[in-house]
């Protein structure tokens, strides 16, 4: 993901600025070379849900307007092609896995965990509030790993029809996050979920079977297998 710096704000002035009085996003194919689609708007759950249904996701940067991205290429995992090693499957036996029993705790752990490759966190209180509301609406899912009753790893994201849009993962003991990912893959295979959207490439996700696809391919999958509560908008966008 591109860094947040002043030049971005200057460039963003020429991009779409989202209106405050109604929900709308431009065509994600109009994104710039870094995937930046639009600026502005807010973190209302409806706006975030519309973004996800449009193949767009928010990336907050401190002291800047809200930025919305649609990357090309897009990094995804097709559940049937996920790479789950035998050693990782064995490691799964060391954890208790649960789904949607502690969503807010998972997102807050993802926000607070220290990551060597980034400063601070993009998971703000506004994001936590919006995504927790999406969880209450039935879109947000958390996959959690426990040892001795303690939450030690997990991931969260949103299920849009048969497309899972992953957001963040954390671990406090070895393999705890990966085991949560295994649980997600198993869930997808059992429930006909066709793709896990990881948004951007990481070494970890690549080792688990992630691959890059064109944005147009991802949008085609989303249109065919997604779930669009915003009927009028979806029809207008074709």
Give the model's pLDDT for residue 85.
Answer: 97
The total of other beta-carbon atoms located within 10 Å of residue 89's CB is: 11
The total of other beta-carbon atoms located within 10 Å of residue 197's CB is: 24
The whole-angstrom separation of Cα 196 and Cα 166 is 7
Band of residue 13 on the pLDDT scale cut at 50, 70, 90: very low
Q: Is the dihedral of CA 138, 142, 148, 149 positive or negative?
A: negative
pLDDT digits (tens, 9 = 90+) for 70-111: 999 999 999 999 999 999 999 999 999 999 999 999 999 999
Decide: 71 and 35 in contact? Cβ < 8 Å.
yes
Closest CA to 28 of 199, 202, 232, 227: 199
Band of residue 183 on the pLDDT scale cut at 50, 70, 90: very high
The whole-angstrom separation of Cα 194 and Cα 143 is 18
pLDDT digits (tens, 9 = 90+) for 120-142: 467 889 999 999 999 999 999 99
Comparing 43 with 216, the larger pLDDT belongs to: 216
For the chain, the residue count is: 238
pLDDT at 67 over 60: yes
The whole-angstrom separation of Cα 69 and Cα 1 is 9
Q: What is the pTM of this model?
A: 0.89
Domains detected in the chain: 6-71+216-237 (3.30.70.3550), 75-215 (3.40.630.70)
């Amino acid at each position: 993901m591109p860094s947040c710096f002043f030049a971005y704000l200057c460039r963003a002035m020429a991009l779409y600025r989202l209106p405050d009085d109604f929900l709308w996003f431009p065509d994600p194919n109009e994104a710039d070379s870094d995937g930046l689609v639009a600026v502005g708007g807010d973190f209302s759950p409806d706006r975030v849900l519309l973004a996800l249904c449009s193949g767009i996701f928010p990336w907050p940067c401190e002291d800047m307007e809200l930025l919305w991205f649609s990357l090309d290429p897009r990094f995804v995992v097709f559940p049937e092609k996920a790479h789950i090693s035998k050693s990782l499957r064995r490691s799964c036996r060391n954890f208790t896995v649960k789904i949607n029993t502690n969503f807010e705790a998972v997102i807050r752990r993802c926000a607070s965990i220290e990551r060597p490759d980034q400063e601070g966190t993009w998971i703000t209180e506004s994001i936590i509030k919006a995504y927790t509301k999406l969880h209450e609406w039935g879109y947000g899912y958390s996959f959690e790993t426990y040892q001795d009753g303690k939450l030690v790893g997990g991931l969260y994201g949103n299920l849009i029809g048969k497309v899972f849009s992953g957001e963040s993962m954390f671990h406090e003991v070895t393999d705890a996050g990966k085991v949560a990912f295994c649980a997600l893959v198993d869930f997808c295979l059992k429930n006909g979920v066709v793709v896990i959207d990881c948004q951007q490439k990481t070494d970890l996700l690549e080792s688990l079977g992630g691959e890059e696809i064109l944005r147009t391919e991802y949008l085609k999958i989303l249109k065919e297998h997604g779930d669009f509560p915003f009927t009028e908008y979806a029809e207008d966008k074709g």
